[in-house]
Amino acid sequence: MVVYYAGSAGTKFSKNVTNQIYEVGISAMSEDDASFPCPNCGMIISPEDNEEKYYHFLDVTEKYATLECHGCNQVLKIPLDTEVD
């Protein structure tokens, strides 16, 4: 079961209730640097964090990157297919 909800500033996230993995949509990411707040604790997750200070990758596939927030240990799934029609 996936539950959709709106975060701060109109960002949209979906929460996979069965195994507690948040799917973060492209619309939740900043247009400037693709950063976004963790939907659970609010820590800013940014691709510019090259040292993985605030998160670390668990898995990367062709379509998704799965990472874990260091602020709350929440697992996040991010789509890598950013093609816009």
- 70: in domain: yes
pLDDT at 77: 92
- Tell me whether residue 85 is in a domain: no
pLDDT along the chain (85 residues), means of 10: 45 51 82 87 89 91 91 90 58
- The whole-model pTM stands at 0.67
Report which DSSP code applies to 84.
-
Can you give the pLDDT at residue 6? 44
Q: Which domain holds residue 66?
A: 2-79
Q: Is residue 33 part of a domain?
A: yes
| Number of independent structural domains in the chain | 1
d(CA 55, CA 70) in angstroms, rounded, equals 5
pLDDT of residue 27: 78
DSSP string covering 7-50: -GGG-EEEEETTTTEEEEPGGGS-TTT--EE-TTT-PEE-TT-T
- Position 84 in a domain: no
Is there a domain that residue 54 lies in? yes
